[in-house]
Structure formats: structure tokens, C-alpha cells
Amino acid sequence: MRLKKKNWLLIPMLLVLGLTVLAGCGQKSVASEDVLARDKANKTVVWGVKSDTRLFGLMDIKTNQIQGFDIDIAKELSHRIYGKDVKIDLVPVTSNTRLPLLKNGNVDALIATMTITPERQKQVDFSDVYFDAGQAILVKKGSPIKSVKDLKAGTKVIGVQGSNSVDNVKKAAPDTRVLQLADYAQAFTALKSGQGDALTTDNGILYGMSSDDPNYVVVGGTFTNEPYGIAVNKGQKPFLKAINKNLKAMRQDGTYHKIEQKWFGKIQGFHQGR
Amino acid sequence: MFEIFQNYGSQLWSGFGYTLLSSLYALIGSLVIGTLFALFEISPIKPPRVIGKIYVEIFRNIPLLVIAMIFYIVVPQYFAKIDGFTAGTIGLTIYTSAFIAETVRAGIESVDVGQMEAARSNGMTYIQAMRFIILPQAIKIVVPPLGNQFINLVKNSSVLAFLAGFDLMYQGNIIASTTFKTTDTYFAVGLLYLIITLPMSYLMRYLEKKWSTEGDEA
């Protein structure tokens, strides 16, 4: 998910990260241990998750717990791989910090709305797709616009500055006019006040908006393909195999569907993949 | 920076055009509305005086961005479908007019009371005295501070960027976030703003000089 972050925390974080790397010098790299065997022995598994993304991983301020689709999948996988009594640690990550945290061994795996891309595959290994994300459009309920193809000349679509979703929608609907606003909150407000006919970005974010205000619905499925995968360090083949095996089993016995329904079931227009 | 002009010249110049257009509308609008409310504020009758005071105090003391956002978000929901450019320009006009009202009021009040009294005792009505005696003198006094307001207005038009108003700043933000050449882009944007504001600055200085040497002919 391409959430633009102007994170002033980044500098202290990088500093800490740098120190961690220095401290790790000379030791056997944590990332090169067999995570599966170690976690089995320790009865602990550490997941890197999002804590700021509605529906996928969001910190509940009241209970101080991170909740979401990613979290439930992670918990289910942990129980299936390591047994019911395993201790599950959830470490909040951001799009900027997740890769270094994984590579340093701070987390065993990342389930954090991470799109599988060829560049990332050079750095880490991905599991099978666990969520078919992609760019979609959000419109007011009853709008004549039913898919991205209806964004013809004379229509206006709202996007967010600095995200490649704007380029994607220009390719998919070349005649529409794109209005770029500063962030998602402003973009959604502008859609509500009728400044544009549709809002476009990742479907995950759009579902979050739709669950916030059910008068707005995601239509037409996705027009880009951005599958989310679980990332583990390279060389963790046994762990990756265990994840894939259990992911498949979850899909077959209906657990996956149950979790999916729990988070997305009430959202109109929810539809995975193309 | 030249690279930015080469690759994104058309976007920058189109932004420049929208900025110029918005500034021009807002300049004319705010001058008319501002002068009107200045006259309200110094009116000998109470109701217009109160209206003028309320108008100025409200719009002078709210951030421009808030006023513009209200026109962008609230007005289309309940009143009229206006786009970002219109909403921003209206917001800019209203915001600036509050400052212009204060400037013009101060200018009028700085004209000696004797002028009004003399005009009235020569048989002019209040409006005639305002029109022919007071305002011509006040204009000379208010030209320098008014010039400042107009230059501020051009710069403040960058508020359109937040409303997808296609102005110079909006295009600059987009170019910066797509090319990551932030420094070059904003230098180019700054340069284009100077093309509008510098001539204004010099014109104001020229008028100020010209009218101060002509002496008091009223």
C-alpha cells in the first residue's frame, strides 16, 4: 500500500537501526538462522504488521491491540505452524521500516499489506498471494460510473499527490480529468462534496473509506494487479514452505473465507482480484 | 532547473496562467468589495457600520486556507457546484477584501475632517463629498499599503494548490512529487511567481513616487 509518510520519526529510527546493525556486527547473522526451528524451540514467533491501516492492521487505542485482516491471518498461521500455545509478537512496521526490520532479524516475517514486486523479490522471498489487492475506484452509491471504463471525457477522478495510482488511472482512463489532493482524508472529503465523480487508489484503502461511510462503494473490481504476499528472509525455505502449506489449508477448510468475511463481508462491492 | 522547464514547461505555464487569472479576478473583486465595506465601516449610519465591522473582523481573522476549504467542501454540498479554482478564487477575494477594507478605511480616516466639513458646507451631499473630495485624496494615501495587499494576494493564490485549482503551486507540487527534483521545481515555481509580483512591486513604487511629487491638488 502506497501510503505517503512524512515521518519525522524516521531519523531516530534510522539511528536506532544503524546502532542495531553495528551491534550485530561480528555475530552470526540472525537472519541466516533457521527461523522455523528456532521459533519452534522458543515457542515464539514475531510478525511485522501494519498498525495504521484500516481493515488490515490498525491499532485499537482502547485495547492497545493491533487488529485487522493481516493480524488474523498471522495468528491463524502461527497456531497452525507452531501449535496453540505459541507466543505471537506483533511488531508495528511502516512501508519504510519493514524491509530493514526483516533483514536484521527483528521480525521473522512480514504480513503488512506488502505488494509482491520483482524488485522486492530480489531482496526477500514471498509466500503465495494471500490477498489480491489492486487499484480500484470508489463512487457514491447509485453513481452511473460502474467501473474505470465509465470514466470518460467530462468526468473527474480524485487521486492523491505523489502516488503512482494517478499514473495508473490516466493509463486506464485517458480522457478523465485527474484532481490531485494532498492526502486520503482530503481526497475523500472532496469526493463527498462532489468535486469529483470517483476516487482512485488501492482497494484496501477504499474499502476502509467505504466501511467508514457506506454511502460510498467500491465498483468495478481492480484495474491493476497488486497481490499482497507474506515476506520472509531469503534462505528460509522451510519456514516459507510451512506458510504456503498452511495458507493453502486455510483456504481449503474455509478459515480463510471466515477471516475474509469478518473484515470485508459487510463492505459493499468487496471483490478480490480481477 | 532548466530541465524542469524543458520537461514540464507546459504544465508550469498553464499553472502560471491559472495563477494569473485567479489573481486578476480576486484583485478586481477584492478591491470593489473591500472599498464597499470600508465605506460601510465609516458610514455615519449605524447598521452598515456594524455589518462592515463584522465582515472585516470575521474574514480578516480566519486563515485563508480555512475560508477556501469552506468554499470547496461546504458550498458544493448545500449551495452551488463550484470547482477548486472558483472556490479558491472566491475565498481569496473575500479574505483579501477584508484587508483592503481596513486599508481603505484607514486611508479615508487619515483625510482631514475639515475636507468633509468644507465639502458639506459647500452644498455637496455626503456621497458627493466622498466621491469627489475624500476618495481621490484617500487613494493616494492607500496606494502603497494596497500594493502590499495585491502582492500578498498573488502569493496567497497558492492556496488553490490545496483545492486542485490547477495553479502554479499545484503543478509544482505534482512535478516535485513525480520527479523528486524538489529543489529545482520550487525554484522554477518561485521564479514564475516573481514574474508576476516584481512588475507589480515596481508599478506600485512608480505610482507612489509620481503622486507624491504632484503634491496636493485637492
Concatenate the DSSP letters of all residues of B46-109 into one string.
HHHHHHHHHHHHHHHSS-HHHHHHIIIIIHHHHS----HHHHHHHHHHHHHHHHHHHHHHHHHH
Mean pLDDT of B135-163: 91
- Euclidean distance between CA atoms A194 and B87, whole angstroms: 13
**Looking at the partner chain, which of B76, B83, B173 has a beta carbon nearest the beta carbon of A161?**
B173
Cα A175 from Cα A167, distance rounded (Å): 13
Work out how many domains chain A is built from and give that number. 2
* Whether residues A115 and A146 fall in one domain: no
Q: Does A192 touch chain B (CB under 8 A)?
A: yes
Question: Across-strand partners of A26?
Answer: none
For residues A164 and A186, state if they share a domain. yes
* Residues A104 and A144 reside in one and the same domain: no
A23 Cβ under 8 Å from any chain B Cβ: no
B170 touches chain A (CB under 8 A): yes
Residue % of chain B over a pLDDT of 90: 72
Domain identity same for A71 and A154: no
- Tell me: the pLDDT tens digits for A216-245? 999 988 888 888 999 999 989 999 999 999
Whole-angstrom distance, CA of residue A25 vs CA of residue A91: 23
Tens of pLDDT, residue by residue over B29-44, are 999 999 999 999 999 8
Over chain A (274 residues), what is each successive 10-residue block's mean pLDDT?
52 57 50 82 92 86 91 95 92 85 91 88 92 91 91 91 82 91 88 93 87 90 89 92 95 93 82 54
Please give the residue of chain A at the shortest CA–CA distance from B166. A179
Distances B22 to A234, B156, B165 between C-alpha atoms, Å: 56, 10, 9
- C-alpha angle A129/A134/A136, rounded to 5°? 150
DSSP structure class, residue A28: P
Mutate to test the interface with B, among A179, A183, A191, A199 (most CBs of B within 10 A): A179
Q: Is A15 inside a domain boundary? A: no
Same domain membership, residue A199 and residue A85: no
Residue ranges of domains in chain B: 2-214
Alpha carbon distance A208, A54 (integer Å): 5
Residue with cell 514452505: A241
**Phi/psi at A180 (nearest 5 deg)?**
-105, 125
Do the Cβ atoms of A115 and A165 come closer than 8 Å?
no
Measured CA to CA, the distance from residue B107 to residue A81 in angstroms comes to 81
B72 interfacial to chain A (CB closer than 8 Å): yes
Tell whether A168 is covered by a domain. yes
For residue A6, being part of any structural domain is answered with no
Residue A208 lies in a domain: yes
Q: How far apart are CA A50 and CA A60, in angstroms?
A: 12
The DSSP secondary structure of A164-221, one letter per residue, reads THHHHHHHH-TTSEEEEESSHHHHHHHHHTTS-SEEEEEHHHHHHHHHH-TTEEEES-
Strands A156-160 and A226-233, by their bridges, are unpaired
Comparing alpha-carbon positions, the chain B residue that sits nearest to A195 is B83
Residues A185 and A235 in one domain: no
Q: Where are the alpha helices (DSSP H) in chain B?
A: 2-41, 46-60, 64-69, 75-78, 84-109, 113-121, 126-129, 135-156, 168-179, 182-214
Question: A208 and A169, same structural domain?
Answer: yes
Domain enclosing residue A250, as ranges: 30-132+227-264
A158 shares a domain with A119: no
Regarding an ipTM greater than 0.85, the answer is no
Mutation target among B81, B85, B167, B177 for the A interface, most CBs of A within 10 A: B177
Cα A158 from Cα A181, distance rounded (Å): 7
- For residues A46 and A73, membership in a common domain is answered with yes
Q: Is the pLDDT of residue B121 over 50?
A: yes
pLDDT of residue A3: 47
* Predicted model pTM: 0.70
Q: Is A186 part of a structural domain of the chain?
A: yes
In this complex, do B76 and A194 lie within 8 Å of one another by their Cβ atoms?
yes
Report pLDDT digits (tens) over A109-119. Answer: 999 988 888 88
**Chain A residue nearest residue B160, CA to CA:** A181
Just give the CATH number of B2-214.
Answer: 1.10.3720.10
Q: Nearest by CB to A180, which of B76, B83, B174?
A: B174
Q: B177 and chain A: CB distance < 8 Å anywhere? A: yes
In terms of Cα–Cα distance, which of A151, A158, A195 is closest to B84?
A195
Confidence of residue B214 (pLDDT cuts 50, 70, 90): low
If you search the block for the grid coordinates 457600520, which residue do you land on? B49
Which residues, in sequence order, are bridge partners of residue A227? Answer: A132
B125 touches chain A (CB under 8 A): no
- Phi and psi angles of residue A198, each rounded to the nearest 5 degrees, phi first: -155, 160
